[in-house]
A and B are shown apart, each in its own frame.
Chain A
Amino acid sequence: MTPPDPSTLDPSSVTAAQIEAWFRRHIAALIGTTPDAVDGGADFESFGIDSLQAVDMIVALEKWLGMPDDLPMEMLFEAPSISDAARSVAEARARRTARS
């Protein structure tokens, strides 16, 4: 149930699929199910995640990706699906890596 160890990942090459897997594990732990049961095509609100849980999730994600304060929460809330959000986060991560 733990996310992949970030030290084993090249920060510049975290893929959308890895981020989606992270989301599914995180949500599964929150709602008490297995990651496989979390549909990547569903949006975040459909899991009954409240905004406080969403803050905690994005802070945990930022920590994992090593990009503190850098992901706008609306990237999650406004995404049509978890997969879309994961893609947006991966793009933001790539942009940030390119800048630094």
Chain B
Amino acid sequence: MTTAFPVEQGGSAAAIRHHYDVGNDFYAAWLDPTMAYSCAMWEGVPDDASLEEAQHRKLRYHAASIGAGPGMRVLDVGCGWGAQMRTLIETFGVAACVGLTLSDEQAAHVRSLAMPDVSVAVTNWHDYRPQVPFDGIVSVGAFEHFAHPDQSPDERRAVYRRFFTSCHDWTGGRGRLSLQTIAYGTMEPGQANPFITGDIFPAAELPTLEDIVVASKGLFRIVRLRDDAPDYARTCEAWAQRLRRAEAAGEAGADSALIERYYRYLRLSAAGFAMRRIVLLRLRLDPIGKPSRRAG
């Protein structure tokens, strides 16, 4: 399965498109209105909060983690359908956002929103060379795609190191990074279900917490670390239920095999997080070397 999506520096574009370019309408049928396709946050919202409320909470959490505020320029690595950038601009008054994605469909969607002060580039972070430094970086649900199963553990850490070095450079060593990623919990690399690694997310290899600690050493201080695996179990369960409802309402498209594939994947993932075989890490990383651009 991995041979179809060979190793590319920084993450396989073909693999990303395999997953995300099945159609915006399909995702819109079962994601919440923010189109956030990553773990929501149920801390700080009422117990019976909707998925949409919990997604907004997550978006605000990451914005606050980098100290987002007026006048700042923020980079979103793996911007998805643009929800994080919208929150940064509309709620936190950020001056400008740049989003990176490898998915043409996501980029087209973000452009269609015509948000002022938001731009999107279909490019791999590995090849990205901004002209002007950023004041902060958010990356949610992208780190999972950076490494390839065919890479050795050392090669994977080198990719992660390169990412943290790039983030450090892109902010001139002064900006914070708010990172959210799935990581291996009690499950070891190689034990992942071939259905998830091969079919749903081809050419993806999860990091371990140790990978992140080692790869960011000397570049960023980990000032906050959360493992919110239960949040992701609840998010996946909510998505599975919404997908079933959309299917019943005839809103999920005609591809019943696709629907079934995603439904199983969401149920499986929910169980994986509930049992902590895989976990959901949220890290606030402050740069080492120069004073932070913003206090707070």
Chain B residues whose CB sits within 8 angstroms of the CB of A51 once the complex forms: 193, 195, 268, 271
Count of inter-chain pairs, beta carbons less than 8 A: 38
CB distance from A29 to the nearest CB of B (A): 19
Total residues of chain A contacting the partner, CB 8 A:
15
- Given A69-B240, A74-B274, A77-B275, A59 and B267 contact (CB-CB distance below 8 Å): yes
Determine if B119 is an interface residue (Cβ-Cβ < 8 Å). Answer: no
Q: List 19 A-B contacts (CB under 8 A).
A: A50-B193, A51-B268, A51-B271, A52-B268, A55-B264, A56-B264, A59-B264, A69-B237, A69-B244, A72-B233, A72-B237, A72-B270, A72-B271, A72-B274, A73-B267, A73-B268, A73-B270, A74-B271, A77-B271
| Bound form: Cα–Cα A74–B240 in Å | 15
Chain B residues whose CB sits within 8 angstroms of the CB of A77 once the complex forms: 271, 275
Chain B residues whose CB sits within 8 angstroms of the CB of A52 once the complex forms: 193, 195, 264, 268
The answer to whether B275 and A55 have CB atoms under 8 Å apart is: no
Chain B interface size range: 10 to 19
Known: A59-B264, A68-B244. 13 other contacts (CB 8 A): A51-B193, A52-B193, A52-B264, A55-B264, A55-B267, A58-B267, A69-B240, A72-B237, A72-B270, A73-B271, A74-B271, A74-B274, A74-B275
Determine if B241 is an interface residue (Cβ-Cβ < 8 Å). Answer: yes
Q: Mark B266-287, 1 if CB is under 8 A from A, else 0.
A: 0110110011000000000000
Q: Mark A14-35, 1 if CB is under 8 A from B, else 0.
A: 0000000000000000000000
> Which 9 pairs from chain A and chain B are nearest by CB?
A73-B271, A74-B274, A55-B264, A69-B241, A51-B193, A74-B275, A74-B271, A55-B267, A52-B195
| Bound form: Cα–Cα A77–B233 in Å | 15
Chain B residues whose CB sits within 8 angstroms of the CB of A91 once the complex forms: none
Residues of chain B from 191 to 209 with CB closer than 8 A to chain A in the complex = 193, 195
Residues of chain A from 29 to 78 with CB closer than 8 A to chain B in the complex = 50-52, 54-56, 58-59, 68-69, 72-74, 77-78
- Given A59-B267, A69-B240, A69-B241, A78 and B193 contact (CB-CB distance below 8 Å): no
Contact of A78 among B233, B264, B268, B275 (CB under 8 A): B275
| Bound form: Cα–Cα A58–B240 in Å | 13
